[in-house]
Homo-oligomer: A and B are copies of this chain.
């Protein structure tokens, strides 16, 4: 297999059969040694982080498979911290699609004049472009279309999938008494040019609370699957 990409938290290899292998690392994003899923740089390395992320990802992707929600997952080897995925191309240089159930984080920083902190939001979807240098700016469907990143029709598909997937995650967390505040997803186009969920779904992609207390991303796997 051929090493094709070194990500912040994953390495990517191309396999002989046309699929790809994601190798989950123990590196997590953060700043000054503090884990922050929203940060753009690798802050520290935590033993077990890769395995916990992969376990959650496998759990959620299998739930999505059951519901016929299209995604790139093929199978996973937890011990090796590896996940096999189908090929997909990202939109432009990559988009982050966020689904919000409560007003926190960058949404609150932007629109704090119109919402209370923690106010309930009805599966609100927004898109940011992956661009560390430009601090992942938000982008409208009109701009995505004009810049040739995503057509208007594709945007509606993306928004619908994002709501469906986020509600699946929310429901699973609710079964264990946890509440999903927001979640960040990534999508791509598969060989048939269909929009599918890619990347991972783990603690690092979402903000989860239990009894009003924030759950650390690395505790999520134990609370949900332990």
Contacts A115-B147, A147-B115 given; indicate if A110 touches B139 (C-beta within 8 A). Answer: yes
16 contacts between A and B (CB under 8 A): A93-B113, A109-B134, A111-B134, A111-B137, A112-B134, A113-B131, A113-B133, A114-B129, A114-B149, A121-B146, A122-B146, A124-B146, A126-B140, A126-B142, A138-B140, A141-B141
How would residues 58 to 94 of chain A score, 1 for a CB under 8 Å from any chain B CB and 0 otherwise? 0000000000000000000000000000000000110
Complex copy number for this chain? 2
What is the minimal beta-carbon distance from A93 to any residue of chain B, in angstroms? 6
Task: Name A residues whose Cβ lies closer than 8 Å to a Cβ of B.
Answer: 92-93, 109-115, 121-122, 124-126, 129, 131, 133-134, 137-143, 146-149
Complex alpha-carbon distance, A122 and B129, angstroms: 21
A137/B110 in contact, CB under 8 A: yes
A143/B131 in contact, CB under 8 A: no
Complex alpha-carbon distance, A115 and B93, angstroms: 13
What is the minimal beta-carbon distance from A165 to any residue of chain B, in angstroms? 17
Q: A141 — which chain B residues lie within 8 A by C-beta?
A: 140-141
Candidates B110, B140, B143, B147; contact of A134 at CB < 8 Å: B110
